[in-house]
């Protein structure tokens, strides 16, 4: 299933889903255009970075794809959770797409999505290990509980088509991943799904079935995020909402630079730094120890970040 | 020299220099007032955090002092460079002042200053190790070479009064410390001085002599920074200078969250997070791969970040 032919297929599927995503994000912005940088990695491979700044709806949107390969140092293999099967030297192949959208309006949440395929290749070209990772998560400024419910329900529908336990497992994984441990475990946002090291055999699915799942996650935005953008972008807001948005973006920066494994991996390796840090917001603020009145929208947003069941009907009424 | 009496004396000297610094920074701001939080550390000790936001000259200025003590875990001791002299358990005592000033105007540079005393105490109350650390560095947005020269010359004069080699050693240490390794080794600013683990006997000085030096570093701002603020704060600037200031502050955030040992130490221990992250700028920006024309003020600022000899007269003319 894996092997050279599969890798080539993955690379072209990633390219196709990257084009499709660029088109969707451009249309949803309604005004801006992406500019593109094509880059080569000195060690092998390269990528396509696309950025849209100061668009109709997005203040900054980045949609990247990359296909990189090269020698795999054993400590890096260990950090990746790779199984070298006793081999002392190996090559890696990694193909993926990642996206972060920071809207102008604090009424429209920030979204992040990433899918990736990793393969470890032995000295004779044999596949030693292969897995998928990815997910998507939402970071609102304004406490629209129905948006969080919409996002999670769309992801639950996608997951359900592939495996009955995927949504609840990957939702929990996400709740435990996007956490600012240094901020009393405050979450970056209201979560979504996150998964890694999904190998053939995972939950009885083979690599093709996992690929189907991952491609559907890659295409989740039209159902999971699009409707939220459509209904929120016209909403009025003032200085106070904008100010809180910038403070929440400060926490986004803290998570990405202090805790995010993907970002730290990029900083420590030979990755293209402008692509690695494309996820950082266009503008962010740090206020000293701000106080939010109980029941203010800021306090209600912070309460919404506590992990909860967004899918069942019963969890919502007291939040809306 | 070290011991309980010395620690008490250090704590009151730190408190005094903190008061003096607060007064100086308030007067130099010309309009704003600090507000204060007094905090206790659950493990022992506490501090006084002072913040001035949206003042006359400062967009955000934080001036903190703390005196903390408690058990010292061996891995932490190792990271600090402490000498436990074979002891398997020990207590630490740390007293210090730290300050970061982010001015409104991009024509006025950001400044950071920190002094600290560390002591390691054995089971019978004996001093196992004791040292000073600290320094000050300048982060300009606009390439005023004469400001960089002024700052370094003031520090050189201070250092020279205590030891002939201190300035050149601590200037070089600073050049190697405030570096965004992930940004092709771009420096955070134009440097200053940085030192750590200065123990009795260092360069032939005893602990009292080192204390004199460190207290003079703590009081460096009136001569090293004040005149720069006075001559720059009235200068006109526009959107372009402000935009570059926010981008440089983005790099400041990257350094502090990814590389700064003090910040990471704070994030990993039980430190008060609002004090640890008080150094972060009020507002920062990330633009994707901006291009600066050769000879633009932005390109000239970036060139100024390359370490150079700011003290001798010959280094300057082609920069101004």
Identify the band that residue B308 occupies on the pLDDT scale cut at 50, 70 and 90: very high
pLDDT for the residue numbered B86? 81
pLDDT for the residue numbered A169? 97
The rounded percent of chain B whose pLDDT value lies above 90 is 83
Distance (Å, whole) CA B154 – CA B142: 20
Which residues in chain B have Cβ-Cβ distances shorter than 8 Å to A274?
Answer: 288-289
The two most distant CA atoms of chain A are separated, in Å, by 64
A197: phi then psi, degrees, rounded to nearest 5: 50, 40
Average the pLDDT over B193-210 and give the result.
95
What's the mean pLDDT when you consider all of chain A?
Answer: 94
**Burial category of B183 from C-beta neighbours within 10 Å (exposed 0-12, middle 13-18, buried 19 and up):** middle
CA angle A147, A245, B269 (to 5 degrees): 105
Tens-place pLDDT, residues B156-179: 999 999 999 999 999 999 999 999
Q: How far is B192 from chain A (nearest CA, A)?
A: 25
Instruction: Give the residue on A whose Cα is nearest the Cα of B285.
Output: A283
Under an 8 A CB cutoff, do A285 and B287 touch?
no
Determine the residue among A47, A52, A63, A286 to mutate to test chain B binding: the one whose Cβ has the most chain B Cβ atoms within 10 Å.
A286
Query: Pick the catalytic residue: B102, B112, B150, B152?
Result: B112
Average the pLDDT over B179-196 and give the result.
96
Distance (Å, whole) CA A311 – CA A151: 9
The alpha carbon of residue A221 and the mean position of all alpha carbons in its chain are separated, in whole angstroms, by 11
Answer whether residue B314 shows pLDDT above 90.
Answer: no
Identify the band that residue B75 occupies on the pLDDT scale cut at 50, 70 and 90: confident
Under an 8 A CB cutoff, do A288 and B51 touch?
yes
Answer whether residue B316 shows pLDDT above 70.
Answer: no
A112 is catalytic: yes
Structure token pair of residue B4: 């309980």
pLDDT for the residue numbered B319? 54
B8: phi then psi, degrees, rounded to nearest 5: -60, -40
List of E strands, chain A = 35-40, 45-53, 58-71, 91-103, 110-121, 127-139, 179-180, 186-187, 191-198, 283-285
Average the pLDDT over B142-164 and give the result.
97
Tens-place pLDDT, residues B248-305: 999 999 999 999 988 887 887 667 899 999 999 999 999 999 999 999 999 999 999 9
Distance (Å, whole) CA B65 – CA B15: 7
Identify the band that residue A87 occupies on the pLDDT scale cut at 50, 70 and 90: confident
- What is each CA distance from A261 to B11, B134, B180, B189, in whole angstroms? 40, 31, 18, 27
What was the ipTM of the complex prediction?
Answer: 0.90
What's the mean pLDDT when you consider all of chain B?
Answer: 94
- What is each CA distance from A97 to A10, A16, A22, A120, A211, in whole angstroms? 11, 10, 11, 19, 14
Out of 3.40.430.10, 1.20.120.1200, 3.40.1500.10, 3.10.200.10, the CATH code matching A4-311 is 3.40.1500.10
Identify the band that residue A270 occupies on the pLDDT scale cut at 50, 70 and 90: low
Answer whether residue B318 shows pLDDT above 60.
Answer: no
Answer whether residue A78 shows pLDDT above 80.
Answer: yes
CB nearest B274 (choices: A278, A283, A289): A289
* Local structure of A169: helix, strand or coil: helix
Scanning the structure block, which residue is given the tokens 């020279």? Answer: B160
Q: How far is A277 from chain B (nearest CA, A)?
A: 8
Residue A185 contacts residue A175 (beta carbons within 8 Å): no
Under an 8 A CB cutoff, do B284 and A287 touch?
no
CATH of domain B4-315: 3.40.1500.10
Question: What is the count of residue pairs from A and B with beta carbons less than 8 Å apart?
Answer: 75
Under an 8 A CB cutoff, do B284 and A284 touch?
yes
Task: Find all residues with CB under 8 Å of A303, minimum gap 6, and list them.
Answer: A143
Query: Pick the catalytic residue: A102, A112, A150, A152?
Result: A112
Average the pLDDT over A64-84 and give the result.
87
Structure token pair of residue A220: 């989740």
Under an 8 A CB cutoff, do B273 and A182 touch?
yes
pLDDT for the residue numbered B85? 81
Residue A266 contacts residue A167 (beta carbons within 8 Å): no
Answer whether residue A45 shows pLDDT above 80.
Answer: yes
Chain B residues contacting A via beta carbons under 8 Å? 37, 49, 51, 53, 60, 62, 182-184, 246, 250, 253-254, 257-258, 267-268, 273-274, 277-278, 280-289
Which residues in chain B have Cβ-Cβ distances shorter than 8 Å to A277?
Answer: 254, 286
Identify the weakest region by mean pLDDT among A202-216, B35-49, B97-111: B35-49
For the beta carbon of residue A68, count every other beta carbon within 10 angstroms. 20
Which residues in chain B have Cβ-Cβ distances shorter than 8 Å to A286?
Answer: 60, 277, 280-282, 284
CB nearest A289 (choices: B37, B60, B182): B37
Residue B46 contacts residue B68 (beta carbons within 8 Å): yes
**Any idea how long chain A is?**
320
Reported as type and span, the H/E element at residue B133 is strand B127-139
The rounded percent of chain A whose pLDDT value lies above 90 is 83
List of E strands, A143-265 = 179-180, 186-187, 191-198
Answer whether residue A319 shows pLDDT above 70.
Answer: no
In this structure, are strands B127-139 and B179-180 parallel, antiparallel, or unpaired?
unpaired
Average the pLDDT over B171-198 and give the result.
96
Distance (Å, whole) CA A112 – CA A119: 24
DSSP B278: G
CA dihedral B278, B284, B288, B289 (to 10 degrees): -80
Which residues in chain A have Cβ-Cβ distances shorter than 8 Å to B274?
Answer: 288-289
pLDDT for the residue numbered B297? 98
Identify the weakest region by mean pLDDT among A69-78, A142-151, A241-250: A69-78
Instruction: Give the residue on A whose Cα is nearest the Cα of B255.
Output: A257
Q: Hey, where are the domains in chain A?
A: 4-311
Distance (Å, whole) CA B2 – CA B189: 35
pLDDT for the residue numbered B8? 96
Average the pLDDT over B57-73 and give the result.
94
Residue A14 contacts residue A95 (beta carbons within 8 Å): yes
């Amino acid at each position: 299933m894996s092997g050279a032919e599969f890798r080539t297929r993955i690379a072209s599927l990633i390219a196709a889903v990257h084009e499709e995503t660029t088109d969707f994000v451009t249309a949803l912005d309604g005004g801006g255009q992406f500019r593109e940088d094509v880059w080569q990695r000195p060690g092998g491979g390269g990528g396509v970075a696309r950025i849209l700044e100061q668009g109709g709806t997005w203040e900054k949107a980045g949609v990247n794809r990359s296909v990189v390969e090269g020698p795999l140092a054993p400590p890096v293999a260990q950090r990746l959770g790779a199984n070298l099967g006793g081999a002392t030297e190996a090559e890696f192949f990694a193909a993926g797409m990642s996206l972060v959208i920071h809207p102008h309006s604090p009424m429209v949440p920030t979204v992040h999505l990433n899918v990736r395929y990793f393969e470890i290749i032995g000295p004779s070209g044999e596949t030693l290990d292969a897995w998928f990772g990815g997910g998507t998560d939402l970071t609102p400024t304004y406490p629209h509980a129905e948006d969080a419910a919409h996002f999670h329900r769309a992801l639950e529908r996608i997951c359900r088509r592939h495996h009955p336990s995927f949504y609840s497992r990957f939702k929990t994984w996400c709740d435990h991943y996007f956490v600012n441990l240094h901020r009393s475990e405050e979450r970056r946002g209201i979560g979504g799904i996150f998964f890694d090291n999904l190998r053939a055999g995972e939950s009885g699915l083979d690599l093709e079935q996992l690929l189907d799942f991952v491609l559907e996650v890659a295409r989740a935005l039209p159902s999971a995020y699009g409707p939220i953008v459509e209904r929120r972008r016209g909403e009025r807001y003032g200085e106070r909402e904008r100010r809180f948005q910038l403070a929440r973006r400060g926490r986004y920066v803290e998570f990405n630079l202090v805790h995010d494994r993907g970002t730290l991996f990029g900083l420590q390796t030979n990755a293209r730094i402008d692509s690695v840090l494309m996820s950082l917001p266009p503008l962010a603020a740090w206020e000293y120890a701000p106080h939010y009145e109980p029941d203010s929208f800021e306090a209600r947003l912070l309460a919404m970040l506590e992990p909860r069941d967004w899918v069942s009907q019963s969890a919502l009424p007291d939040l809306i």
